[in-house]
Amino acid sequence: MENKRIIEINGIKLEVDLSTARRIDEFKIGDNVKVLEKNGSDYNVLPGVIVEFVNFKELPTMIIATFKRDYWGARLNFINFNSQTEGYEITLCCEHELKLEKNKTIDLMQQEIDKKLAEAADLQNKLDYFKKYFAKYFEQLT
């Protein structure tokens, strides 16, 4: 028992036998990861990619891009993951474990871009109309 020690890493307790082997997860930029997102009693597993390591002296941080696809479209979010991060857990992901449907995600994001461009064009048309037809009204007030 003198070679075993219980340690806690980001809320996970592990019994480690120091005389045999130690598990060390190595992460690098571009690695696929699974992100467990905890919202109260709700849990979601999101696909993610490590995009950057920020080597702060006090709090080294890993920046992870996550993709969430649902009824409303596809969203890209960023998580700053470090020893003080709450509500998230990460683990390495093998390519065959969690596949993103690349084309479907791209299509959903393109649809969202097209929708926003149409909204912007509509607002521009309303502004042009206002300038053209209401300018005389405002000139009379001055």
pLDDT tens, 47-89? 888 899 998 889 889 999 998 877 777 788 999 999 899 999 9
* Structural contact between residues 31 and 49, judged by C-beta atoms closer than 8 angstroms: yes
Instruction: Look at residue 112 and give its three-state secondary structure.
Output: helix
Enclosing H/E stretch for 124: helix 102-141
Query: What is the band of 128 on the pLDDT scale with cuts at 50, 70, 90?
Result: very high
Query: What is the band of 46 on the pLDDT scale with cuts at 50, 70, 90?
Result: confident
Beta bridge partners of 68: 75
First to last CA, the chain: 89
C-alpha separations of 97 from 7, 31, 34 in Å: 28, 13, 9
* Structural contact between residues 4 and 18, judged by C-beta atoms closer than 8 angstroms: yes
What helix, strand, coil percent values describe the chain, rounded to 5?
30, 40, 30
Radius of gyration of the chain (CA): 25
Instruction: Look at residue 55 and give its three-state secondary structure.
Output: coil
* Structural contact between residues 66 and 47, judged by C-beta atoms closer than 8 angstroms: yes
The overall pTM is greater than 0.75: no
